[in-house]
Structure 1
Amino acid sequence: MSDEANSGGPAYAFYGDDFTGATDTLAHLARAGLRTMLFFAPPDAARLSMLGRLDAIGVAGAARAMAPAVQRQELERVGAAFAALGVRVMHYKVCSTFDSAPETGSIGVAIRTLREYCANELVVVVGGQPNLRRYCVFGELFAAAGADNSAQSIYRIDRHPTMSRHPVTPMNEADLRVHLVRQGVKNVQSIDWRCYARGAAELQEEVQRRLDSKPDAVLFDVLDDSHLQAVGRVIVRHAAVTAPLLAVGASSVAQAYVLARGTPAEPGVLQTRTTPPLARAHGPVFVLAGSLSPLTEIQIAAAQSYLHVELDPLKMTGDAASDYLAERVAAIAGPLRDGRNVLAFTTRRASSETGALPQLAHACASLLQQVLGAVRLQRIGIAGGDTSSFAVHALGAWGLSYLAPLSAGVTVCRLHADQAALDGMEIMLKGGQMGDPDLFEQLLDGNG
């Protein structure tokens, strides 16, 4: 698919079902040389005109935490906006662990809603992301846990020490076909990894055989980048010759697209734009960790350059929440004004209080908003998918652009806002399963 084939607007558009994953997709597209902007809501014509030509756009949302009716309303708005731009590939970006449920962040609701804006008979589901150690083989999803790179750290997702126990959307089924059927995607066909070695022509014949059964989606195995390239060719071919195509998956969808797109000189070669490394922070850094994952807990313990401020989830969501938040904001803003780095984190005391989690994410958002209203900062970090989504929305900014990579699956972005105090601020968003153990120290020191 050439850029000229879609001269009226971006060829690729993605919706991130949480903010952290959306920034990872932004990074992959931007590093491949595609001019990409991530918005917090579908942009209007004036905003797009101000930015000039874009090769890809994204909308960072919070659909993974939404009930079906709210999620459907959100995605109808996004789908209509993307369709009006004439995009050829519409990517619904999910977590690489596919954690979702029929009543919370349903991937099935997303497919049924967005398919109304993509007339292509093929709906692609990309099942793995190797650079994050997520693998899909014969339809079953596997994921790494922790920093250990050995085979012993790879778990079938329904036995994963964290994701099988997720407080809201525990993954109790490894077969993604079954997982999607439970969310109302009734006919899920699959293409296994052995098909890719047979060549593009035979793979296309295999895809057509699956399409003959009129599937709701076709799941593609992924074990390495060569598989992503094969899947990307399928996506590009079908999106170019027929109607706009819906693709579902992690940032691996964008990786597949880029690998297949390549450049005219080197088709199928991942082109990575050289970007300056992240510089050491100028001034104090504030990190808000709302994630309760074991990896985030390790990262908090390793953050020795920060003053640690505990946040009690029960008090943040209780009857006296406003008084407690005001006291915690003062405990955070004072040291920041004095030039100290501060890490505020929710204690694990209420990790079993699953009913309080949505309120906790909103409370974290209010805390961040108040901290940034009290002290002006150049760089911040937010850990936790739901926390990131609600917290960034609360700031009132309108978008993010790619700045620099920090760790696998973790990107530092530049915030765009109409408010001068926020515009240009550097922001790291990370999911609970992402980043090296010393990630928060890296955010201070940079990687230059």
Structure 2
Amino acid sequence: MPLLGAIADDFTGATDLCSMLVRNGMRAVQMVGVPPAGYPVPDADALTVALKSRTAPVAAALEASLAALVWLRRAGCRQFFFKYCSTFDSTPEGNIGPVAEGLLDALGIPQTIYCPAFPENGRTLYKGHLFVGDRLLSDTHMRHHPLTPMTDSNLVRWLGRQTRRRVGLADYGVVSRGPEAIRAHLARLRDEGVAHVLVDALEDAHLRAIGRACRDFSLITGGSGVAMGLPENFRAAGLLPERSDADRLPPVAGYEAVLAGSCSAATLEQVAVFQRRHPALRLDPLELARGLDLERVMAWARPHLAQGPVLVYASAPPEEVARVQESLGRERAGALVEQALAAIATALVREGTRRLVVAGGETSGAVVEALGIRALRIGPAIDPGVPATVTLDEPHLALALKSGNFGAPDFFLKAFRVMP
């Protein structure tokens, strides 16, 4: 029976969380959306329901999150986790605060914590202020994010705009004294009526201490970093055995392909490295606006697939992206690429492709939806935050699904070595 049930506000964020749990000894399965009635509960220590609620209207995000909570409770989970991005992606209206407050009400509990810190990726929280490297979040590119512009690094103040109940802080001075000090501070704030508590963290040791301090919390919220301390609580309680096989996946044989929709700098470099060694076909969004010639793509791919992995990509440098968006509009350009790569993924699987790497969060979501995938078992990390996975559904597929900015330059090549 699962121990931890998580709700993630986007797809690749859910994968990131599962990867952290696997690294720390929990077998994890990621569900794609809220499972339908009657869907069997997978054999796992942790279940994560991946939603697309980060930028949804507040009411829709809350409804989906509560539906996920209902399913996870019925599955038998003992503790719950609300996962959001380590840059606290949200607006003054939500969705982090309203969703967490709704989960508190549904569980009938008075308090939860918030800790987006992930020092391994340069995200730290100090005096309630979120830093990316040595810069305040509001001084980074996130200030100009088109959907969730983060103009205030003071998360106590930012979260206070999103919630009805009081917001407080467990700062570095508390956290540095360890789990008992954190637990006592949280209890004092709870008695004072503080429902939402930001918790500072500058290093992994702080995250593990926070995890231990929250062993009895029904709900924890944060980035994937703070989840590293949770598996040990279950082991200490005798509920989770020591595992050396938490990341074990069944082998999957078949053709190999990479699909890239992200235009991030990391993905552009990964495309360049891969196409120096393997065949690659670039999609032009302006041509896609006239219709995808799927048979032309497959006629190109078929003779190459038997020789090794192929790449189909729409990734392009910023100046070209700007030109395309000026012609087609931002939303239409993105939708055309996602729809095309999803259709190509479906055609590749029909041809016998069973090992897929997908670059880009929105592209990953579109591909998974097109393939009708309901659940993924999480395996070893390829790079930080990006694990190998295998679908629970037939036909079994080995997948690596990554956010655009994740992964080393050789990620595409490395993925096929790590995937089972």
Q: What TM-score, normalized by structure 2, do the two folds share?
A: 0.85
Assess, with a 3 A threshold, how the Cα gap between structure 1 residues 160 and 336 changes in structure 2: closer, same or farther: farther
Deviations 1:53-72 (A, max 9, x none): x4321112222242323323
Within the candidate set 2, 6, 11, 1:14 is matched to 6
Within the candidate set 223, 228, 239, 2:207 is matched to 228
Verify the 8 A CA contact 1:32 1:272 in the aligned structure 2: no
Within the candidate set 393, 399, 421, 2:375 is matched to 399
Q: Which residue does the alignment assign to 1:60? A: 50
Structure 2 unaligned spans of 5+: none
Aligned residues: 411
**How does 1:165-244 map onto structure 2 within 5 Å?**
165-184=144-163, 187-237=166-216, 239=217
Verify the 8 A CA contact 1:402 1:411 in the aligned structure 2: yes
Deviations 1:105-159 (A, max 9, x none): 7212322332232222111111301233321111122225xxxxxxxxx432222
Within the candidate set 198, 215, 231, 1:258 is matched to 231
Within the candidate set 246, 264, 277, 1:293 is matched to 264
Structure 1 unaligned spans of 5+: 1-8, 145-153, 240-244
Alpha-carbon distance in 2 for matches of 1:10, 1:276: 16
Q: Which residue does the alignment assign to 1:4? A: none
Q: CA deviation at 1:281?
A: 9.2
Assess, with a 3 A threshold, how the Cα gap between structure 1 residues 72 and 170 changes in structure 2: closer, same or farther: same
Alpha-carbon distance in 1 for matches of 2:250, 2:39: 29
Assess, with a 3 A threshold, how the Cα gap between structure 1 residues 227 and 276 changes in structure 2: closer, same or farther: closer
Assess, with a 3 A threshold, how the Cα gap between structure 1 residues 357 and 94 changes in structure 2: closer, same or farther: farther
Deviations 1:297-328 (A, max 9, x none): 22222223332322334544x3x3xx225266
Question: Is 1:359 matched up with 2:332?
Answer: no
Alpha-carbon distance in 2 for matches of 1:195, 1:94: 24
Within the candidate set 131, 150, 160, 1:142 is matched to 131
Question: Is 1:438 matched up with 2:404?
Answer: no
Within the candidate set 249, 253, 266, 2:222 is matched to 249
**How does 1:17-416 map onto structure 2 within 5 Å?**
17-43=9-35, 46-48=38-40, 51-52=42-43, 54-101=44-91, 106-144=95-133, 154-161=134-141, 163-184=142-163, 187-237=166-216, 239=217, 245-263=218-236, 273=244, 284-303=255-274, 304-316=276-288, 318=289, 320=290, 323-324=291-292, 326=294, 329-330=297-298, 333-346=301-314, 347-348=316-317, 349-351=320-322, 353-356=329-332, 359-360=335-336, 362-364=338-340, 366-416=342-392
SS of 1:400 mapped into structure 2: strand
Q: Which residue does the alignment assign to 1:6? A: none
Q: CA deviation at 1:185?
A: 5.8
Assess, with a 3 A threshold, how the Cα gap between structure 1 residues 403 and 85 changes in structure 2: closer, same or farther: closer
Alpha-carbon distance in 2 for matches of 1:372, 1:431: 21
SS of 2:13 mapped into structure 1: helix
Give the counterpart letter for 1:130 in structure 2.
Answer: P
Verify the 8 A CA contact 2:279 2:304 in the aligned structure 1: no
Verify the 8 A CA contact 2:212 2:233 in the aligned structure 1: yes
Give the counterpart letter for 1:252 in structure 2.
Answer: G
Alpha-carbon distance in 1 for matches of 2:284, 2:34: 35
Deviations 1:344-382 (A, max 9, x none): 222343355433366246425533443335422121111
Q: CA deviation at 1:249?
A: 1.2
Verify the 8 A CA contact 1:126 1:220 in the aligned structure 2: yes
Verify the 8 A CA contact 1:189 1:215 in the aligned structure 2: yes
Q: CA deviation at 1:283?
A: 5.5
Deviations 1:187-213 (A, max 9, x none): 321111221233444322311232234
Q: CA deviation at 1:264?
A: 6.1
Verify the 8 A CA contact 1:305 1:341 in the aligned structure 2: no
RMSD: 3.3
Assess, with a 3 A threshold, how the Cα gap between structure 1 residues 324 and 372 changes in structure 2: closer, same or farther: same
Assess, with a 3 A threshold, how the Cα gap between structure 1 residues 98 and 271 changes in structure 2: closer, same or farther: farther
Verify the 8 A CA contact 2:11 2:365 in the aligned structure 1: yes
Verify the 8 A CA contact 1:281 1:379 in the aligned structure 2: yes
Deviations 1:68-89 (A, max 9, x none): 2332332221122223345332
SS of 1:324 mapped into structure 2: coil
Assess, with a 3 A threshold, how the Cα gap between structure 1 residues 447 and 14 changes in structure 2: closer, same or farther: closer
Verify the 8 A CA contact 2:32 2:375 in the aligned structure 1: yes
Alpha-carbon distance in 2 for matches of 1:325, 1:66: 32
Alpha-carbon distance in 1 for matches of 2:204, 2:193: 28
SS of 2:110 mapped into structure 1: coil
Assess, with a 3 A threshold, how the Cα gap between structure 1 residues 44 and 374 changes in structure 2: closer, same or farther: closer
Assess, with a 3 A threshold, how the Cα gap between structure 1 residues 447 and 414 changes in structure 2: closer, same or farther: closer
Assess, with a 3 A threshold, how the Cα gap between structure 1 residues 279 and 254 changes in structure 2: closer, same or farther: same
